[in-house]
Amino acid sequence: MIERAGQPVATVPIEDIGLLIVDNPAVTYTQAVFTALAESGAVAVLCDGAHLPCALVQPAVGHTTQTERHRAQMGAPKRLGQQLWRELVSGKLRLQGLVLAEATGSDWGLHALSERVRPGDSANLEAQGAQRYFARVFGAGFRRDRQGAPPNNLLNYGYMVLRAAVARALAGAGLLTSLGLHHHNRGNPFCLADDMVEPYRPFVDLKVVELLRAGAIPEAIGRAEKAVLLSVFNEVAPVTGGGRSPILLAIQRGAASLAQAFLTGRAGLVLPEGLPVTEPSDDEDADQGA
């Protein structure tokens, strides 16, 4: 239940919430808000004075076989982790190439680069791809820097919210978000989320391109920009194995496939395979059926 001065009380079913993003220093809560969100498997994202996500409140218990999955994750052989990281980097480079093709008319060799990624990305092709990618997508003078000039602020916001969704999915799949495949910073409680978010980042990049084309390069992110960035979760994209999936559901399926990889010892992640597609309308479905 949301109460605001001078406005009608608004209610939202708790089971319909995946992410609750709070970006106003005047908001107050009841304890029941956080416990109810945790019980339903949702994550609360709290923003700081710069309107960027700074904290996540997520469930402590994520899956009925959580202990078994934790053991499988901790006991996974190094070879499996390297194979999984190869899949993530390859998927990221492939999607970056598609974003480049959409924005510039050429993928600048990123698809070919994605095919060359080895287990563990020993040649660091991810970094090579980034050097080709960002300056061509956002302009020759752009440098990806969290503290840098816009549109870095738009990317920061989109990436952090995406990271929260991935962390939620991993916890829901019964995995330890602090135990990463590639990221291993001892002060980072979301190393695994930082691994799994990589192939989804290009979806945020595409939204930022959309804002830039509309002439939006704000020093401060407003409600309109946030709405565009958050709409990424409702986009529908092709995924591994055929078919299409909303991005938020695809993230959950990807987390579940990672858990299965740890349990079985075999790589094979469910990841996005292409850019968002326009779902056919009811009339188009009827025409296709006829």
Position 46 pLDDT exceeds 60: yes
pLDDT in tens, 72-118: 999 999 999 999 999 999 999 999 999 999 999 999 999 999 999 99
Rounded to whole angstroms, how far apart are CA atoms 17 and 73? 28
Position 289 pLDDT exceeds 50: no
What the block records as the tokens of 150 is 């816009």
What the block records as the tokens of 280 is 């056919």
Angle between helical axes of 247-264 and 78-104 (0-180°, round to 10): 160
Parse the chain into domains and list their residue ranges.
1-60, 64-279
Rounded to whole angstroms, how far apart are CA atoms 95 and 170? 22
- DSSP alpha helix (H) spans, the chain: 31-40, 66-74, 78-104, 110-115, 125-138, 152-172, 191-196, 201-213, 223-230, 247-264, 282-289
Rounded to whole angstroms, how far apart are CA atoms 141 and 135? 7
pLDDT band at 277 (very low <50, low <70, confident <90, very high): confident
Rounded to whole angstroms, how far apart are CA atoms 34 and 161? 18
Rounded to whole angstroms, how far apart are CA atoms 150 and 66? 41
By C-alpha distance, which of 204, 210, 243 is closest to 92? Answer: 204
Which residue is it, tokens 């602020």? 153
pLDDT in tens, 124-168: 999 999 999 999 999 988 999 988 999 999 999 999 999 999 998
Whether 125 contacts 111, CB under 8 Å: no
Q: What pLDDT, on the 0 to 100 scale, is given for residue 288?
A: 39
Mean pLDDT of 252-257: 96
262 phi and psi, to 5 degrees?
-65, -40
| Proportion of the chain in helix, strand, coil states, percent, rounded to 5 | 55, 10, 40
Whether 208 contacts 151, CB under 8 Å: yes
By C-alpha distance, which of 24, 28, 269 is closest to 170? Answer: 269
By C-alpha distance, which of 65, 61, 34 is closest to 260? Answer: 65
**Single-letter amino acid code for the residue at 150:** P
Q: What pLDDT, on the 0 to 100 scale, is given for residue 220?
A: 83
* Residue % of the chain over a pLDDT of 90: 65
Q: What pLDDT, on the 0 to 100 scale, is given for residue 279?
A: 58
Q: 64-279 is classed in which CATH architecture?
A: Up-down Bundle (1.20)
What the block records as the tokens of 163 is 């990271």
Model-level pTM? 0.84
Rounded to whole angstroms, how far apart are CA atoms 57 and 62? 13
What the block records as the tokens of 23 is 């970006």
